[in-house]
Chains A and B, each alone.
Chain A
Amino acid sequence: MASDLIIGMVGSGGDGVVSAGEALMAAAAAEGYHVVLTKSFGSQIRGGESSCRVRVSTEEVLSSGGTLDVLVVLSWEDFLKFGAELPVGGHTTIIYDGKTGAAEQIPLSSVTPAEVLAVSIGEMAKQAAGTDKAKNTVVLGLLAGWVGIGREAIVANLRKKFAKKAPDVVAGNERAFAAGLAYAEAHALHGTRVMAAARADDRKLLVIDGNSMCAAAAIFAGCEFFGGYPITPSTEIMQFLDRELWKYGGTVLQAEDEMAGVGAAIGASFGGKKSMTATSGPGMSLKTELLGLASIAEIPLVCINVQRGGPSTGLPTKSEQADLFQAIFSGHGDCVRPIVAPVSVADTFAVTVEAFNIAEAYQTPVIVLSDQEIAQRKETVRPIDTQAIRLLERRQPTASELAHYERFRLTESGVSPISRPGVPGGNYLASGIEHNECGAPSASGEVHARMTAKRVKKLDALKQRRDLFLLEGDPDAPLGLVAWGSVAGAAREALRLARAEGLRVKLLVPKLLYPVAEAVYEDFFESVQTGLVVEQSFQGQLHRVIRMYVNVPAGMGSLAKSGANPIVAGEIVDQLRTLSLNLQRRRVPDLQPVE
């Protein structure tokens, strides 16, 4: 019996493989399995290639995983467009629609899958439902038979899904499911793929995607204004808020462009409301000047960047972690803005709330670097205890402070009380031009020096936030891993696999990427002789940023790759083994980035 199974499905846009993945996930979650669902598409609006991966486990799932255990192919032509996003290995079972190509034409080079099975999926759909549109339902029947998930739940969900359609649509799909199931029961696989039973207490898992989680967290944190412009892969944040935020007395503005979206959010925050904007790389480029305005005018603001491949239009539908340099360095002038990054859908809640807390407490824009992988994948998530989360509000002036109000008064923490329009006596001028303590514009070098120091130093306190780092593994390990964002999931998985093999390794996952908390890294690196910074950017951006601030052990290398193809646990473990062997031979490996 399997306790962890990765199922991939691929076909053309109309084949419905993604909705099959959704249905499989819903059924598995209802049965108490932990599930991660990722989808991948070409950029076509309709049609084109589409695929999904469903990872089902009896334990918490940390990443969408590597090599597939089961692959369902409705079209080999579409399969080829995904490359390493749908990796096939020696243990993969492949089920394909016999119509998409003869066995000898299967385009798999240099790998012999465990089992390759042609099934007349399209024919079965036509016979059962009168249309090959029901192909995906046949697939669900096949999987229910071979994997053992969703025998009841899938049919029940089908009935709900097609409730508003003609009765024969429901009946046709039920027959298609039954046909798939019957086929699977009559044709056993060589190696079993049946899932072990899930834990009963996990039946309360939520099913949610990263973007919805981010938006829900914003509402929980007290966000009352969202201004933004639709852009893939962040748009679901705006869509969720447009459905929900109004109910809480908030406002959603679909602005005319990215600058107007963030500008309106800055205005709303100046007006006293917790505010947010969300975008992806190209939008971040456009918003840059206004983020600088929020920094100098000390306006709280949360800015979500769901990273995709870049530069320019790049890979709009695929994940990459290559906007870290941009997040840190894109503004002109001496300016620090906090950057945080979630490591999973579940973690997106806490990290988004944290972004609001930092923005409000320190009166600064905060960038949340999510990525397409986290933002658009669906995860099963344990219910979150929101009672335990503290929400911070901006420090408002007291009555006595209002009697002689100085908006940018120098304080020990660098944070000055912030007024808002409507408050008598709190009147001030917010400005992008340098200003003195009272808010009056100034071109004085002295004023500029002390206000710059105020704005930079107020954020130093964040470096003490060790709770914004995950630390796992052997504290004295000579092998160190550092990873962030969605790739942290693969790194955590790799850590477990490597330790199970007896490697002495530890992992540091920064959720606070900037300012760089030097002491946290220095403590981590104390025992480290060799290791890897793992990230999905060609240049190894985090690795280079850490090296700007911290004395990193010479033996620390990079596992850095550009986007789309995910970094998986297996390749991290492979490299850890090599590093460990080199260590035993007392040799330090080369520092070249590893492709």
Chain B
Amino acid sequence: MTTNVGAQAIESYTTKDYRSALTPIWCPGCGDFGVLSAIYRALTNIGRPPHEIAFVSGIGCSSRIPGYTTAYGFNSVHGRALPIAQGIKLANPDLLVLVAGGDGDGFSIGGGHLPHAIRRNLDLTYIVMDNQIYGLTKGQLSPTSPQGLSTVTSTYGSLEAPVNPLSYVLGYGAGFVAQGTPADMVGLEALILAGIRFPGFAFINVQSPCVTFGQPELQLKAHKAMLKRLDALGHDPTDRVRALTLAQDYGKELYVGMFYQAPTPAPTYGALVRTRQERLRGQARPKERILEMFAPA
């Protein structure tokens, strides 16, 4: 899976340069193939060499995705992709850091990290492949499964209302909130590209159907028929209140496009960190003499 592409002085890249030698474990027809493809294209468009990209994920079908790119990947543990990605970005602010995972990873086991990643506002792009089911473990209930859904762990139908990821992240105050589907590859690539370019935490919910355990009536073909483009609806992506209203239709309507993009993005945490480091740098006492601060006055 290693690549030496980065070592060569290539000025522009093709999607091939971001594609690793590993074959995805996904089922034929899985929505995640489309997401991967859109990521390749967006990265090609950005043109950063793979060694300057870190791609972090948790656990689940979709979390395998970093390994299918030539970037530095980190396929970590269930639910912890966001903390790890934040550590990477803070350690190495010049990297382009992508985070990906599924709805279980992001909204269930790792759900506690999402509001904090948003309020911290590091320059990360978080792509969730939301398929409303646990596919890797063969078809259990997910936090975004519709109420009443019958699965192997909700034999008599789920009793719980699903999480609404769009209204969550809007409520948490994210500066960039979008939704896409691999049924609209051009749109999806554009959203990922915009997310990477956005200076701050960008959240992209991708309706990426599970071909094996997902609802048959909600596959990519159906997406094509039911999707509604937010720009065609005349939605102004700087209107956060309207975005929240539209987000209420999660699970009923398939809106794609930009829900909200802050017109004047807040300073990123990374930028604040660097300002502080520079301000305090002169005050450091030599490391080998650090204990002198404990000498009696």
Contacts and interface: CB of A to CB of B under 8 A. Distances in A.
Instruction: Please indicate which of the listed interface residues B6, B52, B90 has the most CB atoms of chain A within 10 Å of its own CB.
Output: B90
Contact of A271 (B92, B112, B287): B92
Contacts of A427: 2-3, 6, 50-51, 70-72
Nearest to B85: A267
B54 interface: yes
B291 A430 contact: no
A522 to B, nearest CB: 37
A136 interface: no
Contact of B277 (A220, A246, A256, A433): A246
Interface stretch (A202-210, A368-376, A487-495): A202-210
A259 B111 CA distance: 12
B83 A255 contact: yes
B83 A267 contact: yes
- What DSSP secondary structure best describes chain A's contact surface? mixed
Given A205-B296, A267-B83, A422 B67 contact: no
Contacts of A444: none
B142 to A, nearest CB: 20
A249 interface: yes
Contact of A247 (B72, B89, B284): B284
A270 B94 CA distance: 15
Given A268-B87, A441-B67, A429 B1 contact: yes
Contacts of B22: 440-441
Interface in B253-297: 273, 276-277, 280-281, 283-284, 287-291, 293-297
Interface string A254-274: 011101110111111111110
A404 B2 CA distance: 8
A263 B95 CA distance: 18
Given A439-B1, A441-B64, A264 B90 contact: yes
A386 interface: yes
B94 A422 contact: yes
B65 to A, nearest CB: 11
A212 interface: yes
Contacts of B283: 247
Instruction: Please indicate which of the listed interface residues A269, A270, A421 has the most CB atoms of chain B within 10 Å of its own CB.
Output: A421
B84 A264 contact: yes
A349 B291 contact: yes
Contact of A268 (B52, B76, B88): B88
Interface residues of B, number: 62
Given A206-B295, A431-B74, A265 B2 contact: no
A548 interface: no
B56 interface: yes
Interface in B49-77: 49-54, 56, 59, 64, 66-67, 70-77
Given A257-B112, A268-B88, A381-B291, 6 more contacts: A267-B74, A271-B95, A404-B2, A421-B51, A427-B3, A428-B73
29 contacts: A206-B291, A206-B294, A207-B296, A225-B91, A247-B283, A248-B284, A253-B86, A255-B83, A256-B113, A261-B83, A264-B87, A268-B90, A270-B84, A271-B89, A272-B91, A272-B92, A273-B92, A275-B91, A292-B77, A422-B52, A424-B49, A425-B2, A427-B50, A427-B70, A427-B71, A428-B1, A432-B59, A441-B22, A441-B75
Interface of A: 26, 29-30, 160, 204-208, 212, 216, 219-220, 222, 224-225, 227, 244, 246-251, 253, 255-257, 259-261, 263-273, 275, 289-290, 292-293, 297, 349, 381, 383-384, 386-387, 402-407, 419-433, 438-441
